Amino acid sequence: MFFKLKLETLTDHDLISRISKGDEGAFSELLKRYQKGVYRFAYQFLGDATEAFDIAQESFLRVYELSSGFRPRGSVRFLIMRIAKNLCIDFARRKKPIFTDSPPDITNGETSCSTLLQKEVSNILAAAIQELPENQRTAVLLRHVEGMRYAEIAEVMDTSVGAVESLLVRARKTLKKCMDDLEYVYDEK
């Protein structure tokens, strides 16, 4: 009896193997699994939707190109995120990021004072994250946007768990100071 293998059931390593043999369906499945996360990370890192889209596309193009020589040492997800991180850093070094509002929230058209204040605080926090050094920003976004564990972040950033912990402590300290300063400004008004 003939049956069709469902790509959703394959491991990431199996998908990479099939991609290296020209299987476009396997590439589509890999995109389906990780494209949103890569885009979200790049958007948060760069603050520019167009550039984030380009980074996501370039990340998967590189994965496609690397697929023939891929050796299953680690997670495919971490490989993709490491490529995206490096592309974001390269882009940020070439061009200062453009600060934009966060992606729009879809609401019922109701806007209250607390909603506006919450959006303003969110925008200030996003701008403060943009001002963090690249390695701290990367660690914060991988932890709090992508929900990765410290060991996973260390793998993506090619560093130790202790270094990730240190980066996050310093980043949180900087962000807390920023938010404390914001609270002081609002208390003054």
What CATH number does the domain containing 179 carry? 1.10.10.10
Q: Which of 68, 98, 128 is the last residue of a domain?
A: 98
Q: Which residue has the tokens 């070439």?
A: 94
d(CA 89, CA 80): 14
d(CA 127, CA 52): 16
d(CA 6, CA 29): 10
For residues 92 and 142, membership in a common domain is answered with no
For residues 81 and 161, membership in a common domain is answered with no
For residues 92 and 175, membership in a common domain is answered with no
**Residue 29 structural domain:** 7-98
The per-residue pLDDT string of the chain (189 residues; one tens digit each, 9 = 90 and over) reads: 444 568 888 888 889 889 989 889 999 999 999 999 999 999 999 888 999 999 999 999 999 988 887 776 778 888 899 999 999 999 888 875 454 555 544 445 455 555 665 666 677 778 888 889 999 999 999 998 888 999 999 999 999 999 999 999 999 998 888 877 665 444 444
For residues 70 and 128, membership in a common domain is answered with no
d(CA 119, CA 60): 32
67 inside domain: yes
d(CA 114, CA 134): 32
Q: What is the DSSP letter of 109?
A: S
C-alpha distance from residue 102 to each of 35, 82, 97, 141 (Å): 19, 23, 14, 14
Closest CA to 60 of 85, 88, 30: 30
The amino acid at residue 165 is: E
pLDDT of residue 111: 52
For residues 127 and 89, membership in a common domain is answered with no
C-beta neighbour count of 182 within 10 angstroms:
15
d(CA 17, CA 5): 15
For residues 81 and 141, membership in a common domain is answered with no
Closest CA to 66 of 35, 45, 58, 85: 58
Task: Put residue 175 in one of left, alpha, beta given phi > 0 → left and psi -120 to 50 → alpha.
Answer: alpha
- Confidence (pTM): 0.67
d(CA 11, CA 32): 13
Closest CA to 30 of 64, 74, 71, 1: 64
31 inside domain: yes
For residues 20 and 92, membership in a common domain is answered with yes
For residues 38 and 85, membership in a common domain is answered with yes
d(CA 189, CA 181): 13
For residues 25 and 87, membership in a common domain is answered with yes
Give the N- to C-terminal CA distance of the chain in Å, as an integer.
75
Number of independent structural domains in the chain: 2
